[in-house]
Structure 1
């Protein structure tokens, strides 16, 4: 594959990643991971290394993109600081552990478990009887334990699969915590900052001195892909933020659930099994 084509595909991917991050409070790893994996294997990188590089680099791109999106949501008052800090600290720890597990676990098992979890989250969001109101008990101290628990779970998923964790954080905040969709998305963007940092540290150190890595790699984080993806994803996150606040909450929830189902089927390999090019 020619270098120009390689970089162009990464730049285009970054556009979609940034928009999805700002719009839905997700990191965009579900877009970046498969694209990076394909590009790396196409230039001869071993698939086992390619998937780990895709995970680590995805989290490195997610960090500045989440920062951009979080600032945009914060200006509009949709980032709840207290929940974000508790979930974020727990998510950081979970992401470090998840990345260590991912460095040794079989890829196919991780993909299947993630897909199964995403389908469950989508169904849960569509059928649960959650309140349309914003946070009902924000100052309830018992909530702290829930924030820590679910932040840790989201962090594990983030580290395992190179995602920000928003695919879990958003439905958790809406269904279990009583957040409105806009505040759930804004707060999720802030939590993702923490999970991304934890995953980046773990993937960088666990991949250090690994033979067969492509040039300009810091462990399992490839700096060339990081730069190309970030250039377009960071500004596009702000466009996603502006679009998000123009969409009613009901439609946002439906969009999110549909996205989770697609991600789940993609990760589980169903489209490949059916020979569908999507």
Structure 2
């Protein structure tokens, strides 16, 4: 895999953005990592089906240490709810294995469409959502954590995301979490879900021919190293920003970013020849 300085620079910038997004919004950053890597791998002449799977698998590998970094900072600020995080995380781990296995057998174009449509739905819901003036605690059945954790895990493995893009809106809109608690708790859950997906992408890609050099299954170690070095320290910066920013602004930033990435992933800008 021959890469030039521009390729490396794009990966570094992407890693910085992902690290910041992880700390700020409690998301894994796969919605940034996956499209960027996919397009870069295509530019190297790697076929779309292999490119999308490497992009998803490597995204999850980068998400893991970045999420650990962000979780630690949120935990120190008492914004990680351990019990729901553990329940949802364990179920997310199991769902991540299943989702990753499904993804290795689904055509690239279908994955891109699913990914984009999912993000559009989430972004619209988040823009329309109005948080109550007072966050009232309600009794949540543990089976709700089990269900949503498992579904988030499947989305994580299937689409190469940590699951935060789905999980944070669910925790805020459906489960009634405060935004900052949802961000912090999501960071911990992402650790579980990403591990499940990583295992699946490695095992399902071990004997696949014509993978790029430095690949273990569908995870490319070269891209992982560049992205992780840039993203891990930036997660700390994102956490600091999250605790200084009003909840409404956090939701708007989250929603607009998701909408852009969804359109980019589905090729809408290319269809209309827009330079975005």
TM-score, normalization: structure 1?
A: 0.94
Q: Assess if the C-alpha contact under 8 Å between 1:131 and 1:178 holds in 2.
A: no
Aligned partner (choices 172, 186, 192) of residue 190 of structure 2: 192
Return the alpha-carbon distance in structure 1 between the equivalents of residues 136 and 90 of structure 2.
21
Alignment RMSD (CA, Å):
1.5
Aligned partner (choices 170, 173, 179) of residue 172 of structure 1: 170
1:268 lines up with 2:260 in the alignment: no
1:6-21 matches, cutoff 5 A: 6-21=7-22
Structure 2 SS opposite 1:232:
helix
| 35-44 or 189-198, larger mean C-alpha shift | 35-44
TM-score, normalization: structure 2?
A: 0.95
| 143-152 or 164-173, larger mean C-alpha shift | 143-152
Deviation sequence 1:186-244 (CA, Å, 0-9, x none): 11111110110000000000000211011111100011111010001000000000011
Aligned partner (choices 253, 256, 263) of residue 254 of structure 2: 256
1:59 lines up with 2:60 in the alignment: yes
Return the alpha-carbon distance in structure 1 between the equivalents of residues 123 and 5 of structure 2.
38
Aligned partner (choices 207, 218, 221) of residue 220 of structure 1: 218
| Equivalent residue pairs, number | 275
Structure 2 SS opposite 1:104:
coil
1:210 lines up with 2:208 in the alignment: yes
Who is 2:116 aligned against? Answer: 115
1:230 lines up with 2:231 in the alignment: no
Who is 1:182 aligned against? Answer: 180
Structure 2 SS opposite 1:108:
helix
Q: 1:5: how far off?
A: 2.9
- Structure 1 residues 129, 143: CA separation in 2 closer, same or farther (over 3 Å shift)? farther
Q: 1:36: how far off?
A: 1.3
